[in-house]
Amino acid sequence: MVYLICDVMKKYINLLFYFISFLFMEIVFKLIVFDKFFSMSLINTFVYIVFASCLCFTITTFMNRRFNRINTRIVLFTIAVLYSLQICVFNMFSFFFSLSLLNAAGQTLEFASDIFRVIFSNLFYIILMFIPFVMSFVLKKFLCFDRHKKKQHLFNWIVTLIILVVFFGTLFINKNKDYSPYKAYFKHNDMALEIQNLGLLDATANDFFKYVFKFSEGIDLNVNPSNNNNGGKQEDPKPEEKVYAYNNLNIDFNALIENEKNSTLKNMHTYFANDKGTLQNDYTGLFKDKNLILFMAESYNEIAVNEELTPTLYKLTHEGFVFNNYYSPTISSTLGGEFQELSGLYPANGFVNIWKSGKNTYPMGLGTVFREAGYNTFAYHDHWYKFQDRHNYLKALGFTNYKGCGNGMGDIMNCNQWPEDDVEMINVTFDDYINSDKPFMVFYAAVSGHGNYSWSGNNMSRKNKDLVKDLPYSQNVKAYIAAQIQFDRALGTLINKLEEAGKLDDTIIAFAADHYPYMLTIDEVNEAATYKKDSVVEVNHSNFVLWNSAMEKVEIDKVGSTIDVIPTIYNVMGIPYDSRLFIGKDILSTEPGLAIFGNRSWVSDYGTYFAGSKKFVPKDGVEVPEDYVSNMNKIVSNKIAMSGYILSQNYYKKVLGD
């Protein structure tokens, strides 16, 4: 009897080894990324690790000893690579890798030196992940790689399937709660949410199936698209108040619903028909017919603002429109940030391929609407013009004369340094538009503020090293400020040139960041911050600059984010657009404020919701309406899903034509 028990234990020792290995990697991973392992969904993670252990054990006891031993080590090596990859990606970009981001690999290859730096900086964590793989060699005399007989193998499969059923059963625990494991698994497509709820192994498997089968989130048509606290209904103006029209075009959604046979499109028409849109306001058309120069500010964050070192940034963020509660959600790096700024949509999972292709139609695209309004339009980037296929999506937005390094910019400025100089970009492009026979609209994708932040690997940081030497910060933070000094100089150069040309009062300068400087750690960010920021929400708190030299200062306390930039600009510039068709909203309108982040956390005018911990923190002195958080979570999910559908269905073309 004892011998039989020992024999069984020996045959199944590898199963225990798999379980301990996977549990070890998951615990270490959660502690590294989230600073905690225990959560309300721990049982789901635990059961899935048991299932994954049984599955790997079963498929590595099918062949002879030699192949079973090799396959076991292949499994352990692959899983270690998976965990290491996600640690490196998260620590480099502040988001998790998903198969939907495969077409963004160009950015990874472009900055290979940064990859090696991140690997080196996370080497200790990577070594931890490879401990089980190494132990498979150390403990080879104790592990059993024998081939199981057919009956044993059948038994293994049956147990594996039973545990899988148990796992699915655990998903139904509290299934109706907001962002429950059930909803993360079946209803949403969010890698961060799934990793937090279900663990990395399960999230990866589910990501694979959702990618292969082109999973799309549903739309809850019972929830009003607005995020107003009174059920989403925008209050009508009181009789004594000035009555404003809606910023909408003449679209008959009811006719579209009646004639539509495609169920997805019918639901989309219904969704937008239920949205009144945003009202015009006192600032509508304030800057009508003025010139506009809009920047995508690389890695800009409010910690770069210094009255002495970055005086132009200080000026622009303290004059004009001052948005006190603005955020630049970091989602999918530069590509995701620029997408938010230029499209007014949330970068839903799967947006990369469609956006980068430039094949969609954007009748309300920045270049198109300004050209139709009688403007000459220009777009510039002082790095490789095809980076992330920027030449495709800018053309789709209506910029037909986009210029970057590789298609003209390299002939007039130095494109052989990293990063390139934004001051030089302003100097060599200013004459293109300043004597325009029409008002001009210019888009600049800046690059001087890009990481990494060091004296050896960043020309802009090194250029301004002496200016930051006395700052009470660590080297990386000093190097970041030094790089942003060059962007500040570019803005200062632009303002001086506009003033010399007599065009300053007739020109609007605007900019938003693509993301916070994620190549700094949260502790490094907090060195220069005026208050302690968390790594999910407040690290993204930043500035949206909307400035004109002739205007008086206007402070706006409403919450806003990058997807609100385009609707806000269209409103103040008097550009006709349909506010229902943007997921972002005019920050100056009566629509309540909302900022949505990468793991579905959000900030509203009522408070902050952390999706990972499912905790809502109300603002001081604010009375939160009943069911407000649950309703807002539904609204957020709808906005994310609708952003994806607008792209996947090429919806603007169906509604507005070409």
Q: Does the residue 233 lie in any domain? A: no
Question: Do 257 and 189 share a structural domain?
Answer: no
Tens digits of residue pLDDT in 70-118 = 999 999 999 999 999 999 988 888 889 888 877 665 555 555 566 777 8
Query: Do 44 and 176 share a structural domain?
Result: yes
CA distance 61 to 69: 9
Residue 398: pLDDT over 70: yes
Statement to judge: residues 324 and 373 lie in one domain:
yes
Distance CA 609, CA 600 (A): 9
H-run or E-run covering 604 = strand 602-604
**pLDDT at 38 exceeding the cut of 80:** no
CA–chain centroid gap for 361, Å, is: 22
How far is residue 225's CA from residue 271's CA, in Å, rounded to a whole number? 7
CA 31 to chain centre: 22
Rounded Cα distance between 403 and 382, Å, is: 8
| Residues 281, 205 share a domain | no
In this structure, the answer to whether residues 198 and 79 fall within a common structural domain is yes
Domain-located, residue 478: no
370 within some domain: yes
On whether the CB atoms of residues 561 and 329 are closer than 8 A, the answer is yes
Between the two ends of the chain, the Cα-to-Cα distance in Å is: 79
- Please identify, among 179, 212, 245, the residue that sits at the C-terminal boundary of a domain: 212
How many structural domains is the chain composed of? 2
Q: Which residues share a beta bridge with 609? A: 602, 616
Asked if residue 235 is part of any domain, the answer here is: no
Regarding whether 109 and 35 lie in a shared domain, the answer is yes
pLDDT tens figures, 459-488: 999 999 999 999 999 999 999 999 999 999
Statement to judge: residues 390 and 501 lie in one domain: yes
Q: Reduced to 3 states, what is the DSSP secondary structure of residue 453?
A: coil
**Residue 139 domain-assigned?**
yes
CA distance 250 to 377: 26
- Contact in structure between 316 and 509 (CB atoms under 8 Å): yes
CATH classification at residue 447 = 3.40.720.10
Q: How far apart are CA 39 and CA 54, in angstroms?
A: 24
Identify the weakest region by mean pLDDT among 235-249, 417-431, 461-475. 235-249
128 and 266 housed in the same domain: no
pTM for this model (two decimals): 0.92
pLDDT band at 253 (very low <50, low <70, confident <90, very high): very high
Residue 76: which of 140, 18, 138 has the closest Cα?
18
Task: Give the pairing of strands 545-547 and 291-297.
Answer: unpaired
Cα separation, 67 vs 62, in Å, equals 9
The pLDDT tens digits for 299-333 are 999 999 999 999 999 999 999 999 999 999 999 88
Please tell me whether residue 440 adopts helix, strand or coil conformation.
strand
Q: What is the mean pLDDT of the segment spanning 277-283?
A: 97
Nearest to 421 by CA among 458, 391, 455: 458
Q: Is residue 217 part of a domain?
A: no
- 266 in the same domain as 189: no
444 located within any domain: yes
Say whether 95 sits in a helix, a strand or coil: coil
Burial 220-229 (b: 16+ CB within 10 A, else e): eeebbbbbbb
Which ranges in 139-214 belong to alpha helices (H)? 150-170, 181-186, 191-198, 200-212
User: pLDDT digits over 609-639, tens only?
Assistant: 999 889 999 999 999 999 999 999 999 999 9
Where does 37-178 have alpha helices with state H? 42-59, 65-93, 105-110, 112-121, 123-129, 131-138, 150-170
Picking from 190, 212, 234, the residue at the C-terminal end of a domain is 212
**Host domain of residue 142:** 2-212
Q: Is residue 444 located within the same domain as residue 567? A: yes
The per-residue pLDDT for 106 is 54
Residues in the chain: 658
What confidence tens digit (pLDDT) does each residue in 57-69 have?
Answer: 999 998 899 999 9
Return left, alpha or beta for 574; rule: phi > 0 is left, psi -120 to 50 is alpha, else beta: left
Q: State residue 8's pLDDT score.
A: 61
Instruction: Grade residue 126 by pLDDT with cuts at 50, 70 and 90.
Output: very high
**Closest C-alpha among 451, 446, 481 to residue 464:** 481
**Predicted pLDDT at 350:** 84
Residues 517 and 478 sit within 8 Å (Cβ to Cβ): no
Query: Can you tell me the distance from the alpha carbon of 565 to that of 546, in angstroms, rounded to the nearest whole number?
Result: 9
Exposure string of 323-338, with b = 16+ CB inside 10 Å and e = fewer, is bebbbbbbbbbbbbbb
Question: Do 96 and 12 reside in the same domain of the chain?
Answer: yes
What single-letter DSSP state applies at residue 319?
S
- Tens digit of each residue's pLDDT (9 = 90 or more) over 192-237: 889 988 899 999 999 999 999 888 888 888 888 876 654 444 455 5
Distance CA 370, CA 525 (A): 37
Question: What mean pLDDT is predicted for residues 570-599?
Answer: 97
Model pLDDT, residue 243: 81
Region 580-589: mean pLDDT is 98
The percent of residues in the chain predicted with pLDDT above 90, rounded, is 78
Domain shared by 208 and 257, yes or no: no
Going by C-beta distance under 8 Å and a sequence separation of 6 or more, which residues neighbour residue 452?
113, 114, 117, 458, 519
Position 526, amino acid: N
Strands (E), 357-486: 376-384, 403-405, 440-445
In a domain, 461, yes or no: no
Q: Is the pLDDT of residue 167 over 50?
A: yes
Quickly tell me which residue has 């910060």 as its tokens. 473
Q: Could you say which of 212, 243, 265 is where a domain stops?
A: 212
In terms of Cα–Cα distance, which of 422, 474, 483 is closest to 453? 483
- The mean predicted confidence, pLDDT, of the chain is 92
Residue 543 in tokens: 């500035």
d(CA 488, CA 485): 5
- The C-alpha atoms of residue 205 and residue 580 are separated, in whole angstroms, by 36
